[in-house]
Chain A
Amino acid sequence: MADDPKPDDETAERPAAAAVDPAPRPAPVPRPAPAARPPAAPTPNLAGRTTSIVAAKAAASPSPAATAREADDTSPLLTRRVWIGLAWGAFTAASAAALAATGRFMFPNVLNEPPQQFRAGFPNEYGIGVDERWKEKFGIWLVRTADDLDIGAAGFYALITVCTHLGCTPNYLSAENKFKCPCHGSGFRISGVNFEGPAPRPLERARIVLADDGQILVDRSRKFQRELGQWLDPEAFLRA
């Protein structure tokens, strides 16, 4: 950092036609074919490599470079100004790419989270009532009921253990047969319907179906909300 690019700032303000070599001289627009002059050291290399760029520039705007170069023309094909422009362009592109890559870095390809979908065993492993064995790992209460509130039949439903007030995890109070949220006191019946406290709507149910092997399959990624009539969906309730 101590080595500031000050000479660049300085020379960048020179006229565009100024040559790379340090000795100032008039712009070569009307070229008087100068006498044999030793070219600056880097010039031949640059000229050889950048012909196409200068040609493209010349095609865009009529400029002295548009006319054919004379055989004894030793002026640089790539002026300092064009070169600086190219350098800034490359720097900007590289910075943008690095920034985009950094943003992508923040989104990993693998998550160490429990799967959204799991097999919960066979229906005959469950009695009537709330089963808490999947609460810790998958955030699901698996409830077996003899007569569901909306469906009017016996079967299973999977309640998602997230309070609909502000997202805490309620507790199942078996003595009172209800879910009670410790954060703000919201209460839910074991059907999931809210009946006390600030919760504005019932708990959500997850997709529950029978898998090929006869086990109960719970899919937390698909949610059913009662206030939208979704509890009547055939995948929101497993008749058994």
Chain B
Amino acid sequence: MADTKTIDPRDSAPTRLWNWLTETQIWTSVFRHDRPNTDRNRVLVMLSNVFLHLHPVRIRKSGVKLRYTWCMGGLSFFLFLSLTLTGLLLMFYYRPTLEYAYTDIVGLREHVPLGIMREMHRWGAHAMVITVWLHMFRVFMTGSYKPPREFNWSVGVVMLVLTLLLSFTGYLLPWDQLAIWAITVGSNMARATPFLGHEGPGAALMTLGGVPLIHAADDARFALLGGTFVGEGALLRFYVLHCVGLPLAIAVLMAVHFWRVRKDGGISGPL
């Protein structure tokens, strides 16, 4: 708010309140510039806000067309925010132990107001996997992975993997039969990890003085599950990864991802 406002007693009460409010130090600390209705103000607003500065100040007209971007990146981010919020709320009720995990999930539906909170998290998670895939499809089909954006494409591939891992780890937490056996099947793939899985190629070579170094109780699958089967250790491990580890990693990469969009010249142009 560069220009000083004057308190005119002839103004209406709401106007005077508004003028007073917009001159307080808190207000002027948050909104440091006038409304972005001129090119200069747009630049100032974008560059002086820690969140907005990740974005380009200006983008191509084609970049805002729905038929070009499908808004799939934006939707993925929106779903991530929504999943973070609903997930945080679910954590107030969910306990990752064999005794409570399943009953807490049932309680979230039956005993807690807004039983749809868990459903929002679940369907939002499915939707995010879909939007992330469609985002990558769009980026691929528009050739936006080409230089200078090849690094950002790589960051995106890592985030795709993280999204799938978030989906995978979250799948175990309801601790019903579907969850336990799905993770049993899924984690069995880690048995076949080259060299590091006890049934994988090369594992037989990993011996020291005739003693096998890689076996069922110390291979890659064991590290994932915290045990030799899907039990208490796996539930706690997946819970921590799902709620803290993976979201932290993907949040950092998202910041890099958005910032690289800006540094690489904004949203790519039409082919």
B107→A1 contact, CB < 8 A: no
Say how far A16's CB is from chain B's closest CB, in angstroms: 15
Is B13's CB within 8 Å of the partner chain A? no
Is A106's CB within 8 Å of the partner chain B? yes
CA distance A4 to B73 in the complex (A): 12
Instruction: Indicate whether A4 sits within 8 Å of B59 (C-beta atoms), given known contacts A9-B37, A108-B93, A110-B107.
Output: yes
Which segment, of B25-33, B109-117, B162-170, B191-199, faces chain A? B109-117
CB-defined contacts of A104 to chain B, threshold 8 Å: 113-114
Contact with B along A1-44 (1 / 0, CB 8 A): 11111110100010000000000000000000000000000000
CB-defined contacts of B133 to chain A, threshold 8 Å: none
The residue on A at minimum CB distance from B100 is: A112
CB-defined contacts of B112 to chain A, threshold 8 Å: 105, 108-109
Is A101's CB within 8 Å of the partner chain B? yes
Within 8 A of A (CB), among B26-60: 36-37, 42, 55, 58-59
CA distance A13 to B258 in the complex (A): 28
Interface band, chain B: 20 to 34
B69→A3 contact, CB < 8 A: yes
Say how far B37's CB is from chain A's closest CB, in angstroms: 5
A3→B73 contact, CB < 8 A: yes
Is B63's CB within 8 Å of the partner chain A? yes
The residue on A at minimum CB distance from B262 is: A2
CA distance A237 to B49 in the complex (A): 66
Say how far A42's CB is from chain B's closest CB, in angstroms: 13
Is A174's CB within 8 Å of the partner chain B? no
B113→A2 contact, CB < 8 A: no
Q: CB < 8 Å: which of B64, B107, B113, B258 contacts A6?
A: B64
Q: CB < 8 Å: which of A1, A101, A110 contacts B73?
A: A1
Say how far B134's CB is from chain A's closest CB, in angstroms: 14
Contact with A along B95-134 (1 / 0, CB 8 A): 0000000000001001111100100000000000000000
CA distance A101 to B58 in the complex (A): 37
A2→B74 contact, CB < 8 A: yes
Within 8 A of B (CB), among A62-92: none
- The 26 sampled A-B contact pairs (Cβ below 8 Å) are A1-B73, A1-B74, A1-B78, A1-B258, A2-B59, A2-B63, A2-B73, A2-B74, A2-B258, A3-B69, A3-B71, A3-B74, A4-B59, A5-B64, A6-B59, A6-B64, A101-B114, A104-B114, A105-B112, A105-B113, A106-B92, A108-B111, A108-B112, A109-B112, A110-B110, A110-B111
5 tightest Cβ-Cβ pairs between the two chains A and B: A110-B111, A104-B113, A1-B77, A13-B37, A108-B112
B residues in contact (CB < 8 Å) with A: 36-37, 42, 55, 58-59, 63-64, 69, 71, 73-74, 77-78, 85, 89, 92-93, 107, 110-114, 117, 258, 261, 267
